[in-house]
């Protein structure tokens, strides 16, 4: 059986050996202090996943779980080369960009009677059908459309052959364990194996696999098949937005050399040393923020281990990035075109 390295242990190792990215422990503590009041509010909780995002499914059923699987299978590479030329999707009189443009395109297809979340449909989709479903309302197409087509077909076939055509089968097989579900995903769906080699050691991030588990927990509201008692074993989802927020909040720092490359818009490859350092240090930095937050509550006599975890911190920071885009403009994000994030 293949061994899947732990993203948290990988992150610790990367942070300890990192040359161009630095986790500022004091900065992480300050972020925890600034989140202290927010962490007990509803917007930090599980309910926010539905209440703050109108495109996410309202229900907690098989269809909703299959929606989550489809969306997270395609949850990668939405950034634009130029700020004024973006892939956008109009849905119900609102225009969406980034990840939400994908969700809007999925909901638009469902409204048009296209069974896009059904494995029997996306297992056999042609490239032209994928282009049609994810068509843009600007002249800028969705990036990596051929890769999306390949990943859709591959994942659909696996669902049909092994899991009766629904991701809910995987969820039931996990017996309410986030880690077990994570391993089912990694063992069976190759496009989710987000790994690299750093200092001669295999390391992992599993951004989409972990977000798939987390979104399943969220759509099922942490109840029934989704009542994972080990949800706090997941890390944040290392993408290109979270590191930008952490640098903005001064919990993480880049070397001058790396900052220069980022400002020049250098395109990194998945697995490049600096790219691995950025992602690994982001995971470790957020683990420290969670630890400090829990310590702050403990001092007040409150046990918040159930309420504070990396998943909810990630959701919060990701929304923060969207709402503070102008403030963060001066901090460049790292550019990678690939299927992992």
- CB < 8 Å & 24+ apart, contacts of 58-64: 60/219, 60/220, 60/221, 60/223, 60/224, 60/226, 62/166, 62/168, 63/117, 64/219, 64/220
200: left (phi over 0), alpha (psi -120 to 50) or beta: left
Q: By C-alpha distance, which of 169, 151, 150 is closest to 160? A: 169
| Distances from the Cα of 206 to the Cα of 84, 210, 213, 251, angstroms | 31, 6, 11, 22
- Tell me the two tokens of residue 293: 């937050």
Q: Is 323 considered catalytic here?
A: no
Selected catalytic residue, list 66, 225, 239, 314? 239
Please tell me whether residue 205 adopts helix, strand or coil conformation.
coil
Contact 310, 208 (CB under 8 A): no
Quote the strand ranges of the chain, DSSP E.
Answer: 21-23, 88-91, 94-97, 195-198, 201-204, 252-254, 267-268, 335-336
Please tell me whether residue 24 adopts helix, strand or coil conformation.
coil
Distance between CA 155 and CA 147 in Å, rounded? 12
Where in the sequence numbering do the catalytic residues fall? 239
């Amino acid at each position: 059986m293949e061994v899947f390295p732990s993203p948290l242990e990988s992150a610790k190792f990367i942070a300890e050996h990192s040359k161009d990215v630095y986790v500022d422990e004091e900065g992480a503590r300050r972020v925890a202090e600034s989140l202290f009041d927010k962490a007990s509010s509803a917007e930090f909780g599980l309910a926010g996943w539905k209440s703050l995002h109108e495109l996410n499914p309202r229900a907690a059923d098989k269809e909703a779980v299959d929606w989550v699987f489809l969306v997270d299978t395609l949850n990668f590479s939405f950034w634009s080369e130029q700020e004024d030329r973006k892939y956008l999707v109009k849905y119900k009189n609102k225009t969406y960009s980034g990840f939400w443009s994908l969700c809007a395109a999925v909901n638009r297809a469902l409204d048009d009677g296209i069974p896009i979340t059904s494995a029997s449909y996306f297992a056999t989709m042609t490239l032209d059908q994928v282009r049609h479903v994810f068509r843009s309302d600007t002249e800028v197409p969705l990036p990596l459309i051929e890769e999306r087509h390949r990943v859709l077909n591959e994942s659909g076939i696996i669902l049909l052959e092994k899991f009766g055509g629904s991701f809910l089968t995987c969820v039931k097989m996990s017996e309410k364990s986030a880690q077990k579900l994570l391993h089912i995903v990694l063992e069976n769906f190759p496009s989710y194996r987000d790994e690299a080699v750093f200092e001669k050691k295999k390391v992992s991030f599993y951004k989409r696999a972990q977000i798939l588990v987390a979104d399943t927990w969220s759509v099922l509201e942490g109840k029934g098949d989704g009542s994972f008692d080990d949800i706090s074993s997941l890390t944040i989802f290392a993408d290109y937005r979270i590191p930008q927020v952490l640098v903005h909040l001064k919990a993480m720092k880049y070397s001058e050399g790396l900052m220069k490359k980022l400002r020049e818009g250098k395109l990194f490859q998945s697995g490049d040393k600096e790219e691995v350092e950025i992602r690994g240090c982001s995971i470790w930095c957020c683990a420290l923020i969670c630890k400090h937050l829990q310590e702050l509550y403990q001092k007040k006599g409150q046990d918040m281990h159930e309420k504070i975890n990396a998943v909810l911190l990630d959701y919060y920071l990701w929304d923060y990035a969207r709402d503070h885009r102008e403030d963060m403009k001066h901090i460049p994000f790292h550019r990678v075109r690939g299927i992992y994030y």
